[in-house]
Structure 1
């Protein structure tokens, strides 16, 4: 039983902000059968397994279909109610959506969509059940999973396999595999699948576990880049690192949430200084010397999953006409914690980022504060074993030596009425003996 979301956007059409929106099914928009409708308020409306919610501030509404069945596949429409009489003469704004239902598998899951920018890279992370730990995994492209064209495949080992600009690597200990697509072009956008090879013959009769991923490629902004997606676990933390060109070194940077960059809601912002700024569970810090800023989200909840943006404030008025450089980041929150607790995945500096000075000192001691835990802990362990422990034992020995009981000549403890003598020369007896 799976759920599916579709977001319909009426951006730059604020005239429809207060109108009712609805979801209908049919071959044509004018004759489609209404399923669920908003009531002009920002609250969820439900009809059976389908719900709708208007997010007027973001000029978007979202339809959710739950417990999908094969019969749910078909032709649907996002529509806006602009006339009182809904009939064949209605001119309600509409947008066509084809819904497909795959046999799929709850044995394999991942992000429903990822977004990258032209010339950039993106990562797709898919999780699987332990029973598939030693099977080969692969990435394929096509409208349907059973007939998709295989692009790259693991060989059952934890090493990277590559096919052109696409690579895959299985992390069996974490029950996850990661696909990376580099040097993105507009043609890379489309329908892809994470799959697990469970039969020797891959054809239309294959029952390989699969999960559908839509890949989008935006024109974006090469002035700012970062990870296309990041994943954290419930109750845990995650960090997002974005890089920018040197021209933006002294500008404020911020983190916002929303379907689109121009209308996203700002969460936290730097103040032009290299110090941490915080808003609730989210913090941001600019590392201007390294042309990067880091956003940290703590105590993650399921509601934290969604569409976010790294942005740079270049104009005083932030509105739909703002041209702040931006980079889209999908945040995912997993219910299953990783087996390797305490380990944080760090994003590497892009190999060919246009704003990076190759002569720059890329010391990771300060900028990657959210990713330095394992290194610092190992250094501390070495110091403990080879420096602190011997020093502590030496101090204990010195204290015991100083506080040893007094002894007389020849090692005999002096009596109360016989004061301790002091031999004038070492090795000679005391006077009078």
Structure 2
């Protein structure tokens, strides 16, 4: 009997024993964190993080031999209590953008889930800010500035301009001579 590939995967034991995000984003020169969850029965097994478009040719970058392991710019930590292992990549470069795999080492075929890492290039504005401050400005500072600009500074400026135009309109309009008011008011008797 023929099964579509997706249904075939569902029939494999342990197929959903490990879960991770489909993709994660990080900014060039920044860092990113990936959390992969696993079933409790895999608690004592070695976890790993590798890089390759095809799982079969995956080059393991780090793996847990104890609770935490660091190598160059990549670290991995296994939290047995919450059944999550966390991979952190620091000082991101554009060439870090690729397909990676969260995996669990076991006899036979390892368990793994694919994670696509996307690296956003450092923009010109953050480079300019970094140069003007004599060092690197974090992306979150730039983001905070834009949030303040869009949600606080621009609306306040628009309110002030509107108030000025409204006041200017009141001063420039001819004052009524009172005839129109007397038509709408009750006469005093």
Relative to the length of structure 1, the TM-score reads: 0.29
Q: How does 1:187-266 map to 2 (within 5 A)?
A: 187-199=95-107, 206-221=108-123, 222=126, 225=139, 243-245=140-142, 248=145, 251-252=148-149
Unaligned runs of 5+ in 2: 127-136, 158-189
> Which contiguous aligned blocks of 4+ residues in structure 1 show a shift greater than 4 angstroms?
none
Q: CA deviation at 1:252?
A: 3.4
User: Residues of 1 paired with 2:76 and 2:52: CA distance?
Assistant: 18
Match of 2:56 among 117, 121, 146: 146
| Change in 2 beyond 3 A, CA 1:188/1:70 | farther
Number of equivalenced pairs: 139
User: Residues of 1 paired with 2:115 and 2:147: CA distance?
Assistant: 38
User: Residues of 2 paired with 1:208 and 1:197: CA distance?
Assistant: 5
SS of corresponding position for 1:271: helix
SS of corresponding position for 2:70: strand
User: Residues of 2 paired with 1:196 and 1:128: CA distance?
Assistant: 9
Say whether the 8 Å CA contact 2:29–2:122 is kept in structure 1: no
Higher relative contact order (CA 8 A, sep 6+): 2
Q: CA deviation at 1:123?
A: 0.6
Q: How does 1:20-419 map to 2 (within 5 A)?
A: 68-69=6-7, 105-155=15-65, 157-158=66-67, 160-199=68-107, 206-221=108-123, 222=126, 225=139, 243-245=140-142, 248=145, 251-252=148-149, 270-271=151-152
Q: CA deviation at 1:144?
A: 2.3
Q: CA deviation at 1:124?
A: 0.6
User: What CA deviation, in whole Å up to 9, does each residue of 1:93-120 have, x standing for no partner?
Assistant: xxxxxxxxxx982000010001111111
- The residue aligned with 1:417 is none
Relative to the length of structure 2, the TM-score reads: 0.62
Q: Which structure has the larger Rg over C-alpha atoms?
A: 1
Q: CA deviation at 1:69?
A: 4.5
Unaligned runs of 5+ in 1: 1-65, 72-102, 200-205, 226-242, 254-269, 273-312, 317-433
